[in-house]
């Protein structure tokens, strides 16, 4: 924006008039938070708009269309490991929806809540607690300040009973690229209440195009909440050896087939992943540019009472149902060589009370472990926490400012998420895990692996590629590691369920029928290409998005 054109000057003037000058940010200082991300992928940002309501957003979109200026909507900008608040391509106008943070409607009887993009898990938890409501918040590892809408649109998931967050979305309202308001056929016909209660509506299911799609800006979403159950019991199995992974996967498959509807997700996390959440990185015991040795990993796992793999899950329901489910889980997992722990809130509180009275270093470690269990159980009960977010800081050695919530992009962390879908077959999972170990070792990246059950058929695996963005060599190795993981995973038949702003070109294949259809839909709905250019759509741009310069009509 060194030499603003007539069109950008016109647009900025109109946006200042319709949104207010304080809601239009320009200049490097004002846009720094949106240009900087935890991928070390710099983006030029033309301006930032912060509308406070749908009417302002409609006006902003119409101005952008008239002037041919690309908009990139973000909800709260907490898309950690995928680009945070940065757009796919340079010179977009970021539309920050965090000021649109109203809980629009809540049906206590049916457990349906309608929220705007700026509503966070913590805000919803406070809202429900103030009403003593008996519904769970769909929390995720992204922390308490992420957007409920943003997480659902990216098909995020969690540990509470409705694991797949987009599957719990029942209704969507959005502003289309021409400024029109999209609502489903049922809602448009006067059936707003039943539209909120029934996901599929009538006619073609068009709500789905807004999930990982650049077809409009979602302004409201109705989400079905899971009820707070009578009983919540968590279980943790500590697997002593690497070869225990295969029998554990068989057990997970059988458990989910048998009692899947009373379980949240089941997680399998390797030792590195667990250490990243409970220990600072041992910089003083690792040679610069090297990896933790096997003996060091073993020492740290032993110190923290952890195994090579940790299996964890939560059972929800009335006491009789939970008791039966736990009994079945024990039978299905009888063949796994591991230490097993089952616990509820009452047992955690009892153990914490006992541990407070014990002296010595072992007791201090026990108290630390019980604190970690307490944090994990808070998440199981639908309380948003930063427990999982801590790992983003592991290799950078950074810390959030005193008294502030974690923000990996702001705080100088380096993290790229590789998140492929893996069939729930022991031999396939083993090949995948071995591939991650090999590729990460080749690039000198610590191999942090989680396998999260999305059903009894499929895992999503998350591998955070952690690095220190202050060091160019570290950053370059991390980026090459992601590309190598992607290619090696593709050879195994495992591919990511989502990708970040630098990797759209890896997953979007313009020669496939699927992506050709996406391109045709994009051209029909957004012929000017003003909404999120390059996001999950075929283009010719080297970064996976079209060359789109401000001041030129698209």
pLDDT at 372 over 90: no
Q: For 196-241, how does the pLDDT look when each residue is reduced to its tens digit (9 = 90+)? A: 999 999 999 999 999 999 999 999 999 999 999 999 999 999 999 9
Q: Which residues pair with 463 in a beta bridge?
A: 418
Mean pLDDT of all residues in 277-293: 93
Confidence band (pLDDT; 50, 70, 90) for 288? confident
Q: What is the pLDDT of residue 5?
A: 74
Q: How far is the C-alpha of 125 from the C-alpha of 112, rounded, in Å? A: 14
Token pair 């690039």 is at which residue? Answer: 443
pLDDT at 553 over 80: no
pLDDT at 554 over 80: no
**Domain residues of the chain, as ranges?**
6-96, 103-224, 231-393, 414-501
Q: For 455-465, how does the pLDDT look when each residue is reduced to its tens digit (9 = 90+)? A: 999 999 999 99
Confidence band (pLDDT; 50, 70, 90) for 359? confident
Q: What is the pLDDT of residue 2?
A: 38
pLDDT at 552 over 50: no
Q: What is the pLDDT of residue 362?
A: 72
Confidence band (pLDDT; 50, 70, 90) for 57? very high
Residue 167 has phi, psi (to 5 degrees) of -65, -25
Mean pLDDT of all residues in 408-436: 97
| SS3 labels along 95-138 | EECCCCCCEEEEECCCCEEEECCCCCHHHHHHHHHHCCCCECCC
Sheet holding 103-107, edge to edge: 103-107, 112-115, 217-224, 169-175, 181-182
Residue 17 structure tokens: 């008039």
Class of domain 6-96: alpha beta
Mean pLDDT of all residues in 12-29: 94
pLDDT at 3 over 60: no
Closest to 83 (Cα-Cα) out of 482, 387, 554, 540: 482
pLDDT at 365 over 90: no
Q: What is the pLDDT of residue 540?
A: 57
Task: Give the max Cα distance, the chain.
Answer: 72
Q: What is the pLDDT of residue 545?
A: 41
pLDDT at 105 over 60: yes
Say which DSSP state 142 is in: T
Helix (H) or strand (E) holding 303: helix 294-303
Distance of CA 547 to CAs 28, 65, 144, 534, Å?
21, 17, 35, 9
Confidence band (pLDDT; 50, 70, 90) for 375? confident
Beta strands, E only, 129-230 = 169-175, 181-182, 217-224
CB-based contact 500:419 (threshold 8 Å): no
1-5, 503-507, 543-547: least confident range: 543-547
Cα dihedral angle (416, 422, 425, 429), rounded to 10 degrees?
-20
Q: What is the pLDDT of residue 233?
A: 94
Coil, strand or helix at 524: helix
User: What's the number of CA atoms in the CB half-sphere (13 Å) around residue 410?
Assistant: 11
Mean pLDDT of all residues in 398-413: 91
Q: Which CATH architecture has domain 231-393?
A: 3-Layer(aba) Sandwich (3.40)
Fold designation for 103-224: 3.30.465
Between the two ends of the chain, the Cα-to-Cα distance in Å is 17
Helix (H) or strand (E) holding 352: helix 345-356
Mean pLDDT of all residues in 344-352: 90
β-pair type (45-49, 92-96):
parallel
| Per-position DSSP letters for 208-276, written without gaps between them | GGGTT--S-EEEEEEEEPPBPPSEEEEEEEEE-SGGGHHHHHHHHHHHHHHHGGGB---EEEEHHHHHH
Confidence band (pLDDT; 50, 70, 90) for 6? confident
Q: For 423-432, how does the pLDDT look when each residue is reduced to its tens digit (9 = 90+)? A: 999 999 999 9
Fold designation for 414-501: Vanillyl-alcohol Oxidase; Chain A, domain 3 (3.40.462)
Q: What is the pLDDT of residue 551?
A: 34
User: Fold identical between 231-393 and 414-501?
Assistant: yes
Mean pLDDT of all residues in 323-349: 92
Rg (CA), the chain: 24
264-268, 284-288, 399-403, 426-430: least confident range: 399-403
Confidence band (pLDDT; 50, 70, 90) for 248? very high
pLDDT at 548 over 50: no
């Amino acid at each position: 924006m060194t030499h603003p054109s007539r069109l950008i000057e016109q647009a900025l003037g109109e946006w200042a008039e319709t949104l207010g000058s304080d809601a239009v940010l320009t200049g490097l200082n004002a846009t720094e938070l949106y240009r900087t991300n935890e991928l070390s992928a710099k983006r030029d940002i033309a301006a930032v708009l912060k509308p406070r309501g749908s009417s302002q957003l409609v006006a902003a979109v119409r101005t952008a269309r008239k002037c041919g200026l690309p908009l990139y909507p973000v909800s709260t900008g907490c898309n950690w490991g995928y680009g945070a608040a940065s757009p796919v391509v340079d010179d977009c106008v970021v539309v920050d929806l965090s000021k649109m943070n109203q809980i629009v409607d809540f049906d206590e009887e049916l457990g349906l809540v309608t929220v705007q993009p700026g509503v966070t898990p913590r805000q919803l938890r406070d809202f429900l607690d103030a009403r003593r409501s008996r519904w769970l918040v769909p929390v995720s590892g992204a922390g308490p300040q992420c957007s409920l809408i943003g997480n659902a649109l990216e098909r995020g998931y969690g540990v509470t009973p409705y694991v797949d967050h987009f599957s719990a979305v029942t209704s969507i309202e959005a502003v289309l690229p021409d400024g029109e308001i999209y609502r489903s056929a049922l809602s448009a016909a006067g059936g707003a209440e039943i539209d909120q209660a029934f996901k599929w509506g009538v006619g073609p299911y068009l709500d789905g195009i807004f999930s990982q799609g650049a077809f409009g800006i979602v302004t409201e979403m109705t989400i079905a909440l899971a009820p707070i159950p009578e009983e919540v019991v968590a279980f943790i199995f500590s697997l002593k050896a690497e070869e225990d992974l295969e029998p554990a996967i068989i057990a997970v498959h059988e458990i989910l087939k048998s009692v899947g509807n009373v379980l949240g997700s089941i997680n399998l996390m390797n030792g590195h992943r667990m250490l990243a959440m409970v220990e600072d990185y041992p910089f003083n015991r690792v040679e610069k540019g090297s990896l933790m040795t096997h003996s060091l990993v073993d020492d740290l796992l032993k110190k923290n009472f952890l195994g090579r793999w940790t299996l964890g899950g939560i059972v929800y329901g009335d006491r009789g149902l939970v008791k039966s489910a736990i009994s079945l889980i024990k039978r299905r997992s009888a063949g796994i060589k591991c230490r097993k722990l089952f616990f509820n809130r009452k047992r955690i509180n009892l153990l914490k009370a006992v541990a407070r009275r014990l002296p010595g270093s072992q007791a201090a470690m026990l108290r630390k472990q019980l604190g970690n269990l307490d944090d994990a159980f808070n998440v199981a009960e639908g309380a948003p926490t930063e427990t999982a977010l801590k790992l983003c800081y592991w290799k950078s050695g950074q810390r959030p400012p005193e008294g502030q919530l974690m923000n990996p992009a702001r705080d100088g962390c380096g993290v790229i998420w590789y998140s492929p879908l893996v069939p729930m077959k022991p031999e396939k999972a083993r090949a995948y895990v071995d591939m991650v170990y090999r590729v990460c070792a080749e690039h000198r990246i610590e191999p942090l692996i989680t396998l999260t059950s999305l059903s009894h058929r499929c895992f999503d695996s998350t591998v955070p590629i952690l690095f220190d963005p202050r060091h160019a060599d570290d950053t370059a190795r991390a980026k090459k590691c992601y590309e190598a993981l992607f290619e090696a995973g593709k050879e195994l038949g495992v591919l990511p369920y989502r990708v970040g702003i630098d990797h759209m070109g890896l997953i979007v294949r313009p020669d496939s029928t699927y992506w050709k259809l996406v391109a045709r839909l994009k051209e029909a709905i957004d012929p000017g290409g003003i909404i999120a250019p390059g996001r999950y759509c075929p283009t010719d741009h080297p970064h996976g998005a079209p060359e789109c310069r401000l001041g030129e009509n698209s």
